[in-house]
Amino acid sequence: LVYMRKTIVPSLLQAIKENQNRDEIKLFELANTYVPAKNDLPKETLMLAGVIYKNNVSFFEGKGIIEQLLIDLGIKKYKFNEPEKGGVGASIYIGSDRIGEIELLDDKTLDFELNFEILLKHANSKKHYKGIFKYPPVIEDIALIIDPKIKTGRIIEEIKKQSGLIKEITLLDTFKDSRTFHIIYQDPSKNLSAEEIASVRKKIIKNLEAQFNAELKK
């Protein structure tokens, strides 16, 4: 029973403590937790936990990681509510299901723990076959200054609407009120020119300015 952890986070924090000579550490673990039950075997739940350790770590950096995971799993109806523990953080829900908590422990340490079983329950498992394109993609990163309260999923949806040439978007980095998106453009019938990409980029920025009062980070 000594090794039946109720939560994963303390183990990750201990690993951080033992490696504080490093400037930046990101640790993640997927494992079972065990909550004691009266007159029964402990309740076993598969959990996903993470800890970020770095100078001036931001709550929104951890939030961005979780949002990208939810997006990759095809989950859209998620929300970050006021934290049940208090402090800087959030309780995370998919619909009415609470999946976990994210919290900023201090200016160097952030952690989160999510119920992976609930995540899988809500995940969209439908996969669409994509043929191999003859013409290579064009890849670029766009850094935006945008209200941290706006969900990454909403931003990605707005970007995708701007052109059929946009094949994939992922959140690359988050820092305070800045988010960087990795965008892949591709046309199955031809090579894309710099002018075509510039036109789509201009449309993206104009739309995000109108929708979210965002601006391109220079």
The CATH number given to whatever domain includes residue 94 is 3.30.930.10
Is the confidence at residue 64, as pLDDT, over 80?
yes
Are 162 and 96 in a shared domain? no
Q: Are residues 19 and 118 in the same domain?
A: yes
Residues 38, 115, single domain; the answer is yes
- Domain C-terminal end among 93, 122, 151: 122
Question: 181 with 208: CB under 8 angstroms?
Answer: no
**Residue 176 lies inside a defined structural domain of this protein:** yes
Alpha helices in the chain (DSSP H): 9-17, 59-72, 116-122, 152-161, 194-212
- Single-letter code of the amino acid located at 162: Q
Count of the separate structural domains present in the chain: 2
Domain enclosing residue 155, as ranges? 138-216
State whether 34 and 101 are in the same domain: yes
* pLDDT on residue 4: 80
Are both 40 and 108 inside the same structural domain? yes
- Classify residue 4: in a domain, yes or no: no
Distance CA 210, CA 83 (A): 31
67 with 112, same domain? Answer: yes
Q: Are 185 and 200 in contact (CB under 8 A)?
A: yes
Does 52 reside within a domain? yes
* 20 and 118 both lie in a single domain: yes
Please give the distance of CA 126 from its chain centroid, rounded to a whole number.
Answer: 20
- What per-residue confidence (pLDDT) applies to 145? 95
17 and 51 share one domain = yes
Q: Are 23 and 52 in contact (CB under 8 A)?
A: no
Domain containing 167 — which CATH number?
A: 3.30.70.380
Digit-coded pLDDT (tens) for 140-198? 999 999 998 898 989 999 999 999 999 989 888 888 889 999 999 999 899 999 899 99
33 with 118, same domain: the answer is yes
Q: Predicted confidence band at 29 (pLDDT cuts at 50, 70, 90)? A: very high
Residues 82 and 106 in one domain: yes
pTM over 0.75: no
Is residue 132 a part of any domain in this protein? Answer: no
Q: What is the pLDDT of residue 92?
A: 95
In a domain, 127, yes or no: no
Amino acid at 16: I
Whether 36 and 83 share a structural domain:
yes
167 and 115 both lie in a single domain: no
By the 8 A CB rule, do 162 and 200 touch? yes
